[in-house]
Structure 1
């Protein structure tokens, strides 16, 4: 019977014009076409590979190669001894090559698929002469619906032919098909669970369940809505197509551990983007992995939830702080060094100096960065609500209390950072209660009696002199010492005049982008005037002034000849310090570019105390160019 099958196949090969001296397959997939085919057959490949590896351990060193094809005979995977692999590659027997009868004539792989049964061919039983050197044992691979998915082939030199070789192939295929049945059984058991369906479909989070290989087998209606994709498009797909971090996630759940609230990026869906994901392993009674449940929350919804309680989120880092002056550099370096300390920080600085920017930067540089950053403005909370705001309240604590109670800022910041802004405005009785929480690291909600442990780092900020408030009996000395373990003093903008120009240029760019306007050009006279100004509102005042300038398309330059009028119209006329200008007195006369360039270099050297690196950076030129210009203008460096 086998010989009849081979004879008929040879006849078909002749009829199809197959040449006996052909060396290479007629059909071959490469590039994106091959990638698409491999992705389409990923389930077959990944299910088969462990069994193929087991088979190879039995024949390793005996000159055999194992080949896996799809249902049309296209090679998907090869593994085997190096010498035979090289021989096979000489005849383009590689992934993407079609081994069906129309492509290479009679061979074991095509007959196993066409005849739907195991078969062994040796030497001249193959049609083309190039294959006469081999013996091949092949068996079709079926899915749980008894449809042919592909074929497994064991190929070696013709003198190694043995009936046991075909037996090994058949046994391996049986194991692969049993794995399909096991996976299908698990899927069927899951799908017949109406209760589980109801629970998953009523979750407000997008939810997927995966089998033990990471293929999606369940999708809830929230996921369909959030990702704007149908269930049929997701079923049977590997989750790594949508999650680039899947390998890292898989290693965690494979060990039986949960992964909670991880920030991930979902891609390759109509609605992709950033999400918060949790992954939970489904374990059998024997603690074996039986699947995975993934839940996704839109990052915007998470931020919305946090803002509902805190009104803010930490998004500044030290790289957002603009300042190249020596005192700002030292301050930033120090703040970075103490970021990961659990000790309390007291930030002191005038209004508008960026106290909250520093607080958020410290938080984001610490090991608490993934937890909450909760901000409280102590000067904006009515005294009667202070305790419930910080410590929360239980159900029925007072008239109008929310049913079920409400967590306070300490609970919301648990594991993270609590930022107490304007801490000098805190009422005396609250100072006592805050001190107790800092000492005992527990809170008790208003109207409750249960103590709740909290792990919170405190960063406080003030624009007042707390020592003076202590002397005036308005602030507790013990709380002052507790808060000021690490003190930070942010200098006023007038104390770091060399940063003004950098800030001006930064805000010109950001405000123009925000307002969709061109960046206005500020003349030298404008810079001189702004450098002399005291900036009592510090960086915030400068930022607001630049925003006004951009909104007016730079029209403030029209008033520069009348400095007094300019001050009254745009700035505080009393806030000036004449010694901080970039150049000499105002002048509207026209000067040569060389004169302006020489003055710019000389004034920058004076302003930066001769620091050549900083001068070059301020002027936007390299140090070599600075040396050449200085020599040209007779300036001593």
Structure 2
């Protein structure tokens, strides 16, 4: 009842005759009752709306893009964050069925029917401005007669998820142009050219020998571009099979190999979406995958193996190779169309032998970094030895320099005291990989000796049979056997 002292209005009734006067009071009471009930209903609606607005404000204050649906899939609530994420207005989706935007909703519920939670499920969202791949997490709010009555879930774009994943997985660029130590003319020219293309969005080909620092230059370009806030995903094709290359670059679904329990995995293009993709040794890519890469670059769309749907990707590619691709193109082993698609900008990175002025500073920096890693004191290189190292060719570039630094730190500089001349120093402490290869080569005389002795013994020590088998004269074989110490055992 309304407060008796609260005046909300007045009602006046006039009776045309005295005969109807006795009904006037009854009618007046009925009118007052109707007005009172209407006012109470309005007050109740107002309180309900206030409560709903308060609930919506609380719902909207949550950090995630939340949606509440009924057991039949009708959208009861959708937060501002969800509307913003999907690019739609609340009035256009509220009370619609969730299958309008998530066509596979029933299939998702069916495959998770015994669970009270939905964890990290990839869904494809359609019919919205920001259509695409999203990650869904949710839980059941209410169950009635063993059936789901109400459920809440939140959405995150796969682009955002993969971008965050890049930070945890180390798919970020750490080097900038300030980190590149150089005084040589060839390297200064490269840095100038690299800075000039950093603000562009064209793909880049970097040609240079192995271990010359191509990735460092690519990272520096990335970190001075508009993509610096996104991932820098590295892919190395040098030791991968064709199938592995395809799986790494484009990813796969559980349908890719149904006879195996495969967990769906995004490809490098999806991880790099919004950022940069660094492909090492692009020349190793088979022709079939070159065609597929060209299509991805042209359409800006990617599809996982085992999946028919396409995902839009926005990626800048840094493709590197340790040799010029011209010969490969001439042989028909590399698509010229792909080369042109990738070479919006092209850089040739010099080897260490082409930038000898940089060697002293680079060597000092490498020794300091390596000594910190090893927890040992960094030895100082005497001036005359530094000149030797500066003149050295460094055939394996930075890889060899790091190996030498490690050897020097373990040796604590003793190598500088025990050598006759420059040639002796290089022979003992440089050309390390070359020396390993040379040491593994068996001398020709030794190969010949083993071959002759093996045949001679296998044929029962017969010079005649052995000479015929080896295709040499008896006299030649006799002299060879004598040379290898078999003269006393030979037949007469």
Using structure 1 for the length normalisation, give the TM-score: 0.42
Residue 425 (structure 1) aligned with residue 294 (structure 2): no
1:317-466 aligned within 5 A:
317-399=176-258, 400=260, 402-403=262-263, 405-466=264-325
The CA RMSD over aligned residues, in Å, is 3.1
Structure showing greater radius of gyration is 2
The change in CA–CA distance for 1:518 and 1:455 in structure 2 (over 3 A counts) is: same
Task: Give the Cα–Cα distance (whole angstroms) in 2 for the partners of residues 514 and 560 of structure 1.
Answer: 28
Contact 1:567 1:573 in 2 (8 A): no
Q: Which moved more, 1:327-336 or 1:559-568?
A: 559-568
CA deviations over 1:447-477 (Å, ceiling 9, x no partner): 1111111100011001011011111221111
Task: Give the Cα–Cα distance (whole angstroms) in 1 for the partners of residues 261 and 251 of structure 2.
Answer: 10
- Alpha-carbon distance, 1:402 to partner: 2.7
The change in CA–CA distance for 1:389 and 1:532 in structure 2 (over 3 A counts) is: same
Contact 2:181 2:361 in 1 (8 A): yes
Matched residue, 1:480: 339
Contact 1:511 1:546 in 2 (8 A): yes
1:107-506 aligned within 5 A:
305-306=165-166, 312-399=171-258, 400=260, 402-403=262-263, 405-506=264-365
Tell me the matched-pair count: 285
Task: Give the Cα–Cα distance (whole angstroms) in 1 for the partners of residues 314 and 164 of structure 2.
Answer: 23
Secondary structure in 1 matching 2:366: helix
Contact 1:311 1:375 in 2 (8 A): no
The change in CA–CA distance for 1:304 and 1:542 in structure 2 (over 3 A counts) is: farther
2:382 to 495, 520, 523: 523
Secondary structure in 2 matching 1:461: strand
- Alpha-carbon distance, 1:307 to partner: 7.2
CA deviations over 1:75-106 (Å, ceiling 9, x no partner): xxxxxxxxxxxxxxxxxxxxxxxxxxxxxxxx
The change in CA–CA distance for 1:502 and 1:478 in structure 2 (over 3 A counts) is: same
CA deviations over 1:404-428 (Å, ceiling 9, x no partner): x221110111100011111011111
Task: Give the Cα–Cα distance (whole angstroms) in 2 for the partners of residues 388 and 518 of structure 1.
Answer: 44
Task: Give the Cα–Cα distance (whole angstroms) in 1 for the partners of residues 420 and 255 of structure 2.
Answer: 67
- Alpha-carbon distance, 1:526 to partner: 1.0
Tell me: higher relative CO, structure 1 or 2? Use CA pairs within 8 A at least 6 residues apart.
2
Matched residue, 2:75: none
Task: Give the Cα–Cα distance (whole angstroms) in 1 for the partners of residues 336 and 366 of structure 2.
Answer: 40
The change in CA–CA distance for 1:552 and 1:571 in structure 2 (over 3 A counts) is: same
2:416 to 538, 557, 581: 557
- Alpha-carbon distance, 1:311 to partner: 6.1
CA deviations over 1:352-397 (Å, ceiling 9, x no partner): 1101111111111111011111111112322122222211222322
Secondary structure in 2 matching 1:450: coil
Contact 2:171 2:234 in 1 (8 A): yes
Using structure 2 for the length normalisation, give the TM-score: 0.53
Contact 1:374 1:417 in 2 (8 A): yes
Task: Give the Cα–Cα distance (whole angstroms) in 1 for the partners of residues 381 and 248 of structure 2.
Answer: 46
Secondary structure in 1 matching 2:249: helix
Task: Write out the 4+ residue segments of structure 1 that deviate beyond 6 Å after TM superposition.
Answer: 301-304
Task: Give the Cα–Cα distance (whole angstroms) in 1 for the partners of residues 310 and 408 of structure 2.
Answer: 54
Q: Which runs of 5+ in 2 are unaligned?
A: 1-49, 66-160, 435-492
Contact 2:163 2:230 in 1 (8 A): no
